[in-house]
């Protein structure tokens, strides 16, 4: 009889290959399940960390916004005060020039001469 026709020799390698494939599949499936569980746990942990950071960042951003808003309000108030002071000074200068026109022209000429001498040297 031809060895290729022998039923015991021809089926034996196939049975061994099938058993080997089943054994490998049995080893891979638990490892894949463990890997999936580990990835799920890591994703859950990362999600929790992001939630904690977001919970802390929200109030910090609100506080920063409030502080910036307060600073803008303070700057606007100071600008209004400076504008008012400027108006008072200009009004005072106009009143002085109207009350003492010759003295004002003399002071302006003297200031011009001093400035021109200072910058010309």
Q: How do residues 2-57 score in pLDDT, each as one tens digit?
A: 444 544 444 444 544 455 556 566 777 877 888 888 888 888 888 888 888 888 88
One DSSP character per residue, 86-108 reads HHHHHHHHHHHHHH-HHHHHHHH
Report how far apart, in Å, the C-alpha atoms of 110 and of each of 41, 104, 105, 114 are: 85, 10, 9, 6
Q: What is the mean pLDDT of residues 66-82?
A: 95
Listed by start position, the domains of the chain span 3-87
Q: With contact defined as beta carbons under 8 Å apart, do 88 and 81 qualify?
A: no
- Residue 96 makes CB contacts below 8 A (sequence gap 6+) with 104
- pLDDT at res. 10: 47
């Amino acid at each position: 009889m031809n060895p290729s026709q022998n039923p015991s020799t021809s089926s034996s390698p196939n049975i061994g290959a099938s058993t080997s494939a089943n054994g490998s599949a049995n080893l891979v499936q638990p490892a894949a399940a463990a890997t999936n569980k580990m990835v799920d746990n890591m994703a859950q942990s990362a999600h929790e960390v992001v939630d904690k950071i977001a919970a802390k960042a929200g109030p910090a951003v609100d506080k920063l916004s409030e502080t910036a808003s307060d600073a803008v309000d303070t700057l606007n108030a100071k600008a209004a005060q400076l504008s008012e002071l400027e108006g008072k000074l200009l009004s005072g200068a106009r009143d002085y020039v109207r009350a003492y026109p010759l003295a004002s022209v003399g002071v302006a000429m003297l200031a011009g001469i001093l400035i021109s001498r200072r910058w010309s040297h």
